[in-house]
Structure 1
Amino acid sequence: MTARETIPVSGITCANCAAKIEREVTMREEVSSCRVDFTTSRMIIEWESSSNRETMLESIEQTMRRVEPGAKFDKRDGDQTEGRDVTLWRFLAAALMFSIALWTDSIAGFVVAYGVAGYDVIYGAVRNIWHREWFDEKFLMTIATIGAFAISEYPEAVAVMLFYQLGEYVQGRAVRASRRSIQSLLNMKPTRARVLEDGDEVERSPEEVSIGSHLVIRSGELVPMDGTVVSGASSLDTASLTGESIPRQVSAGEDVLAGMVNMEGRLIVQTTRLAAESSLQKMIALVEEANGKKAKTEQMITRLAKVYTPVVVVLATIVAFVPPLFVGDLEEWVYRALIFLVISCPCALVISIPLGYFGGIGAGSKRGILVKGGEYLDTLTEVDTIVFDKTGTLTTGRFEVTDVMTTEGISAEQLLHLAARVELASNHPLAIAIVDRVGEVIAFDSIQEEPGYGLYAHDQDDHIYVGSARYMRKLGLTIEDSSVGTSVHVMKNDSWLGRIELMDTVKSDAITAIDALKGSGIRTVMLSGDRRQVATKIGEQLGLDEVRGELLPHEKVEAIERMTISQKVAFVGDGMNDAAALARANVGLVMGGVGSDSAVTAADVVLMHDAPTDVVRAIELGKQTKRIVWQNILFAFGTKALVLLLGLFGIATMWEAVFADVGVALLAIANATRLLRMTS
């Protein structure tokens, strides 16, 4: 049985190196699989046998150092500040020496500047060659710069190393900034809970607190576990979970989630879930796993990079030695070949493409849209049909009184008041809606429930019955119920007094969401288990393209299977009965971070706001991400191809080659990180 472990790492600054470490660690017998998440500085290991864990970790750390010097397991979660400062100071020192060498035209000065700027690159190249690791950026930089020294191009050789190191430094800063945007979420995990025990407040780890315990949450503190407010009232900052900037007001009886911040008063909260099962923990798990599911574009670039570099090296060899056989001037053609080597490193693509998807996932998490992987961001851009569940997805699941029909001798308000006095004894959603409509009432002293039918109250000589049309028929009355919504009938003694019509209310932003989707050319469908008349009326109100009602869960799945034959289908649902449909669609979106566990597990995207407009935002996020990724691909390949061509004809120098390598990488990374700043 495999055991899974996540370990923070530091010092891995190259995506190629991360891939090499993955391959070497996975080859070990004790390891089932290994993934180095470059974007969050973590190694995820699944052990086949962890009996020699400490010994294996030491061996794995040695492998990491061999592939990339300075790489290690980091208990401080990859701070890397010290190494970052050393790199910067070394670059500044080398730049100063280079300036002096240029001023004095000193070969020794160039050699010293070159050594200071590139000693680690040369060491890494030699070490990799010894271990038969060819065609990485260290090897390419070393061959190119030594070749430049060999043909007396001293300034350009040093400049290549200087700009390479500058690029590594700036690239590292960009990657760390991206990591922090996600790790701010991963580090939100509460570390303590103040528990009420025998009237005393005792601090415990959330993992030690059981369901049903009472927690004290003071002003300014993080809610450590999901629960229900027992006493107190306050405003909660929910931005960390949902991206919503407006504080949420809570009082006794309302739910609160781990990760929310108490802004005002003192709350007593009764826990309803274990710490490991909290909504915050689900979010953290989703974001941690997201980078393991790579998009097709990302996989394509990774495969291409393995072929691209060796091909360019072969071309460089041909350029260096074949043309001189016909036209002479070996030194000039070697110089042109060195230009090929400098720009052949695929760093701009290997780093910026995953960073683009990482940026999309990070930007989504800030908006309360949790995407489980880059592949789902891509799929969202291809969707042409969106299928919605009704209750809890397009509607609130809460009923409102829409109409009251009465007989002569009683007003609508009197009928509602009478029904509310009976319904006060029930927790049914219809009963709650009627009581909420009336306000404060006093319940009858004697109320009994007729399971499956309704309620019966006895008031002196009067008998009041409140329930469905079926209940009325059971009592001997023939009732024609032609209402579209759900009806609650009221009968006093032997007389029918009237009915109260209720409807599930449409979410406030549902119409806006449907209009936006249809404006984008996306077909909208609703599959509901509710009565056909109710589903049709909701569909007409929202302007949906197709509506089907009275469907069982398996019938929803069958309908989606038929659609996916010819269409790219997204399904949006919220409950346990939607889990199969969410899994069967091309991409599944689940409403609400506190929805059914099975639905959240089956879905590919979790919409924490519980808002239909977030479906539109998720699609827009996918399109933004894909646009930026392809901008990087075309820009990197286009620039490199142009400089390769110019270098072949002797127009481009090594300075342009440095820009085509380091400059393009930096610009592509900067473009990828734009997504992380798109938080509104």
Structure 2
Amino acid sequence: MKKRLWRILFGAVLFIAAAVMNPSDQWFKIALYGLSYIVVGLDVVIKACKNIIKGRAFDENFLMTVATIGAMLIAEYPEGVAVMLFYQVGELFQSYAVDKSRKSIASLMDIRPDYANVKRGEELVKVDPDEVQTDDIIVIKAGEKVPLDGIVLKGKSMIDTSALTGESVPREVEVGSDILSGCINLNGVITAKVTKEYEESTVSKILDLVENASNKKSHSEQFITKFARYYTPIVVIIAVFLAIIPPLVLEGATFGDWIYRALSFLVVSCPCALVLSIPLSFFGGIGGASRKGVLVKGSNYLEALAETEIIVFDKTGTLTKGVFLVQEIHAEGVSQEELLEFTAYAESYSNHPISNSIKQAYAKEIDSGRIANVEEISGHGVIATIDGKKVLVGNSKLMKKMNMPYYEGELIGTVVHVAIDHIYAGYIVIADEVKADSAQAIKELKHANIKKTVMLTGDTQAVAAKVAKELGIDKVYSELLPGDKVEKVEELLLQKSEKGKLAFVGDGINDAPVLARADIGIAMGGLGSDAAIEAADLVIMTDEPSKIATAIRISKKTLGIARQNIVIAIGIKVGILVLSALGITTLWAAIFADVGVTIIAVLNSFRALNVKKL
């Protein structure tokens, strides 16, 4: 860029010197124009010649070369040099624009770790993250990037996840916490066990997604590519006819006048404003989305998102946290504290999620000396002796098996019944907790003109109906197997319009087939399974459903900018093409129609990067 800038400045000085010279020094004046042209335009002429040899004749280099050399041949030296000079200014501006966009995204994606501190015996060895194996022990010091995904074995710290999720608030990690590569350790020293090799780590997958996103072009980009392929040869043929036919058939028409018009026509016809600005718009949109913690795997998915009519959600882990918590304790004949204590002791040897939620609610140390004769009955529950009392903890099947009367009313959630010494002592209701922003997410989607929201879940009808009502979801299907979910999505695909799209949002391994079947698959990337992230077209790194509405707003804004650029570029060009053919405009207007329109379109494309208020 610096070399091009100096060439432009030197060429401009020679051009100005030639322009202000005394007309009597005609040959010296022409020589200065020629030298100015060589300084600013030689590389364009060389590129045009190389492309002709390779069979790619009709590009902007060819158009500029023919137009400018043609202008010089008909003695329009100032305009011939000016066209090339301003074309190079436009190219410089374009290079700056693309470079700025790339740097903007690169800064967001500056998460590739340089090294990992691997513990070898009592020593720490700095190695390339690629060389670290699963189960190796790594140490992350304050200020360092987390090099690989792992689980904390020792230490406590705050980590900055903003590069991955877009969230500015640091997250606390301690022993047992999962840590993701690409995060930054802010204060403490953490010792962790590696759970994934670098190629499978979060940071590697994110970088791969961003680097490959540009390979999947949107319909708008495909249209422009095809348009330029046919458009350029057509305008060259028209320009040739414009230069030759009128002087032969029109009385008083001169070749010099019509060649000048043809050259203006060629300059205007250059499609670089479209070819550059449309991909740049989508590139900016993808970068803006990544700032918000939404990874888009291609421009085509970003464009499709703007046309979404139906959004289908999985429940557990998508709209809910996927973490079971004690929601209600109903005690009979004992206090709630005693009921919870007996239940926690009976479940102390189990690692089942339900057992873990009860122990978490109890939150006290378990004295194993108080427990005896623990018997786990698969699919039913646990029988244990605690403080000499026989305690039954389990579902309704266990109560029936032991001929124990129990509460049979309808309860929403997983119900754990408890009996102490053959007397029913009450029940504990455990349920998944709805994510804090799920209701807001559904509300925002409806404001974004989403016609229908649907929830698919394998959970019971009662639980599903409660969650759907709480969130304001239009339709719910419950007690589904993974295969049933695909069938329901197939049915819903028939309900959308021809151009409309259906998006499915999920996080589990069993959601992968549905994510692949939907028009747009959206995965929860923070806690979601690798299979779901792999099958999805968009990944929400924060696990927040509300980011879906944000992604839709970004897609609509990006698509709007791309369409504006198409209208601006084609509209102005067609207008000046007609005026050039009629001889009303000069090469200076042609320069504006090419370089000026390109700069306007590029500046407009920059708006796609601005997503702060979305």
Give the TM bin, normalised by the shorter chain. Answer: over 0.9
SS of equivalent to 1:253: coil
CA offsets per residue over residues 556-609 of structure 1, 9 Å max, x none?
A: 101101111231311000000001110111111011244222211111111111
1:440 paired residue number: 364
The CA distance in 1 between the partners of 2:335 and 2:526, in whole Å, is 43
Q: CA deviation at 1:478?
A: 3.8
Deviates more, 1:343-352 or 1:411-420: 411-420
**Partner AA of 1:492 in structure 2:** I
> Quick one: distance in 2 between partners of 1:108 and 1:434?
90
Deviation readout 1:2-43 (Å, 9 max, x if unpaired): xxxxxxxxxxxxxxxxxxxxxxxxxxxxxxxxxxxxxxxxxx
| Superimposed CA distance per residue, residues 514-560 of structure 1 (whole angstroms, 9 cap, x where no aligned partner) | 01112233210001000111101111111110011001111110110
1:265 to 183, 188, 210: 188
Map of 2:412 onto structure 1 = 484
Amino acid in structure 1 at the alignment position of 2:322: G
Q: How does 1:167-206 map to 2 (within 5 A)?
A: 167-184=90-107, 188-206=111-129
Alignment partner for residue 442 of structure 2, among 491, 494, 514?
514
Q: Is it true that 1:211 corresponds to 2:134 in the alignment?
A: yes
Secondary structure at the counterpart of residue 216 of structure 2: coil
Choose the corresponding residue for 1:666, options 571, 574, 599: 599
User: Secondary structure, in 3 states, of the residue corresponding to 2:134?
Assistant: coil
Task: Tell me the CA shift for residue 448 of structure 1.
Answer: 4.1
In the alignment of these two chains, the number of paired residues is 596
**Aligned with residue 505 of structure 1, among 416, 433, 439:** 433
CA contact (8 A) 2:155 2:191 kept: yes
1:379 matched to 2:304? The reply is: yes
Whole-angstrom distance in 1 between the partners of 2:387 and 2:74: 112
Evaluate the alpha carbon distance shift between residue 416 and residue 343 of structure 1 in structure 2; reply closer, same or farther with a 3 A threshold: same
Classify 1:593/1:442 alpha carbon distance in 2 versus 1 (closer, same or farther; 3 Å): closer
- Distance in 2 separating the partners of 1:248 and 1:330: 74
| More divergent stretch after superposition (558-567 vs 85-94) | 558-567
Question: What are the equivalent positions in structure 2 for 1:82-121 lying under 5 Å apart?
Answer: 84-104=1-21, 105=23, 106-121=29-44
1:130 deviates by: 4.1
Residue 559 of structure 1 corresponds to 488
Separation in structure 1 between the aligned mates of residue 365 and residue 192 of structure 2, nearest angstrom? 28
The SS at the match of 2:511 is helix
Q: How much does 1:650 deviate?
A: 2.6
Contact 2:345 2:371 in 1 (8 A): no
1:146-161 aligned at under 5 Å gives the runs 146-161=69-84
Q: Structure 1 residues 517-526 or 247-256, which shifts more?
A: 517-526
C-alpha distance in structure 1 between counterparts of 2:175 and 2:398, whole Å:
35
Residue of structure 2 in register with 1:296 after alignment: 219
| 1:481-500 deviation per Cα after TM superposition (whole angstroms, max 9, x unaligned) | 52122111111121110001
Q: Equivalent residue for 1:145? A: 68
Q: Is the contact between residue 344 and residue 362 of structure 2 (CA under 8 Å) also seen in structure 1?
A: yes
- Counterpart of 1:449 (choices 371, 376, 400) is 376
Q: Assess, with a 3 A threshold, how the Cα gap between structure 1 residues 517 and 115 changes in structure 2: closer, same or farther.
A: same
CA distance in 2 between partners of 1:118 and 1:158 (Å): 8
Whether the 8 Å CA contact 1:512–1:613 is kept in 2: the answer is yes
Q: In structure 1, what is the equivalent of residue 562 of structure 2? A: 629
Q: Is the 8 A contact 1:625 1:675 kept in 2?
A: yes
The Cα of 1:456 is off from its aligned counterpart by 2.6
Q: Which amino acid aligns with 2:329?
A: V
Residues 465 and 490 of structure 1 are in contact (CA less than 8 Å); yes or no, is this contact kept in structure 2?
Answer: yes
Match of 1:414 in 2: 338
Give the partner amino acid of 2:390. H
Counterpart Cα distance in 2 of 1:355 and 1:110: 35
**Separation (CA, whole Å) in 2 of partners of 1:594 and 1:108:** 69
Unpaired segments of 5 or more residues in structure 2?
Answer: 24-28
Partner residue, 1:18: none
- Going from structure 1 to structure 2, the CA distance change for 1:200 and 1:449 (only over 3 Å counts) comes to farther
Shift of 1:180: 2.0
Which position in structure 2 is the counterpart of 1:643? 576
Worse-matched range after superposition: 384-393 or 309-318? 309-318
- 2:351 and 2:52 map into 1 onto residues whose CA distance is 73
Which digits, 9 at most, give the CA deviation of each residue in 1:366-390, with x for residues without a partner? Answer: 2211111111111111111100000
Contact 2:371–2:387, Cα closer than 8 Å, also in 1? no
- Deviations, residues 623-654 of structure 1 (Å, cap 9, x unaligned): 11111111111111011111112222333211
Amino acid at match of 1:534: V
Distance 1:387 1:245 in 2: 29
- Matches of 2:269 and 2:388 in 1, distance apart? 95
Equivalent of residue 542 in structure 1, options 452, 471, 474? 471
> How far apart are residue 125 of structure 1 and its match?
2.4
Deviation at 1:316, TM superposition (A): 1.5
- Please give the alpha-carbon distance, in whole angstroms, between the structure 2 residues aligned to 1:289 and 1:132: 28
TM-score normalised per structure 1: 0.85
| Distance in 2 of aligned mates of 1:345 and 1:424 | 75
Conserved in 2, the CA contact under 8 Å of 1:279 and 1:593?
no
Retained in 2: the 8 A contact 1:469–1:481? no
Trace 1:29-108 onto structure 2 (pairs within 5 A).
84-104=1-21, 105=23, 106-108=29-31
SS in 1 for 2:250: helix
* 1:501 partner SS: strand
Q: How far 1:218 sits from its partner (Å)?
A: 0.5
Question: Aligned match of 2:505 in 566, 572, 587?
Answer: 572
* Contact 2:14-2:33 at 8 Å conserved across structures: yes
Give the deviation of 1:318 after TM superposition.
2.3
1:474 aligns with 2:401: yes
2:13 partner letter:
L
**8 Å contact from structure 1 (residues 185, 284) kept in 2:** no
The CA deviation at 1:511 is 0.3
How big is the shift at 1:453?
2.0
Tell me how far apart the structure 2 counterparts of residues 187 and 500 of structure 1 sit (CA, whole Å): 47
Find the counterpart in structure 2 of residue 339 from structure 1.
264
Could you tell me which amino acid in structure 2 is paired with residue 92 of structure 1?
L
> Paired residue for 1:19?
none
Alpha-carbon distance, 1:658 to partner? 0.8
Displacement of 1:426 after TM fit? 2.7
Aligned with 1:366 (options 285, 291, 295): 291
Q: Which residue of 1 aligns with 2:348?
A: 424
Provide the alpha-carbon RMSD of the alignment: 1.7
Cα separation, partners in 2 of 1:401 and 1:317, compared to 1, 3 Å = same
Letter in 1 for 2:422: D
Assess, with a 3 A threshold, how the Cα gap between structure 1 residues 499 and 125 changes in structure 2: closer, same or farther. same
Equivalent residue number for residue 66 of structure 1: none
| Residues 445/413 of structure 1: CA separation in 2 closer, same or farther (3 Å cut) | closer
How far did residue 433 of structure 1 move?
Answer: 2.4
One of 127, 140, 145 as aligned partner of 1:222: 145
Deviation at 1:468, TM superposition (A): 1.2
**What is the SS of the residue equivalent to 2:432?**
strand
2:455 pairs with 1:526: yes
Identity of aligned pairs, percent?
46
Runs of 4+ residues over 6 Å off in structure 1: none
The answer on 1:122 being equivalent to 2:45 is yes
Distance between the aligned counterparts of 1:166 and 1:519, measured in 2? 43
**What's 2:522 paired with?**
589
The whole-number CA distance in structure 1 between the counterparts of 2:555 and 2:176 is 38
Cα offsets for 1:40-78 (capped at 9, x unmatched): xxxxxxxxxxxxxxxxxxxxxxxxxxxxxxxxxxxxxxx
- Structure 2: distance between partners of 1:161 and 1:637: 22
Q: 1:448/1:384 Cα in 2 relative to 1: closer, same or farther (>3 Å)?
A: same
TM-score under structure 2 normalisation? 0.94
- Matched to 2:362, the amino acid is V
Name the counterpart of 1:458. 385
Q: Residue 186 of structure 1: CA displacement?
A: 5.4
- With 456-465 and 93-102 compared, the bigger mean Cα shift is at 456-465
Q: Which amino acid aligns with 2:505?
A: V
The separation in 1 between residues aligned to 2:449 and 2:163, in whole angstroms, is 33
Q: CA deviation at 1:459?
A: 2.5
Q: Which whole-Å CA distance do the structure 1 matches of 2:98 and 2:412 have between them?
A: 56
Aligned AA (2:378): P
Distance in 2, matches of 1:460 and 1:233, equals: 37
Q: Distance in 1 between matches of 2:444 and 2:436?
A: 14
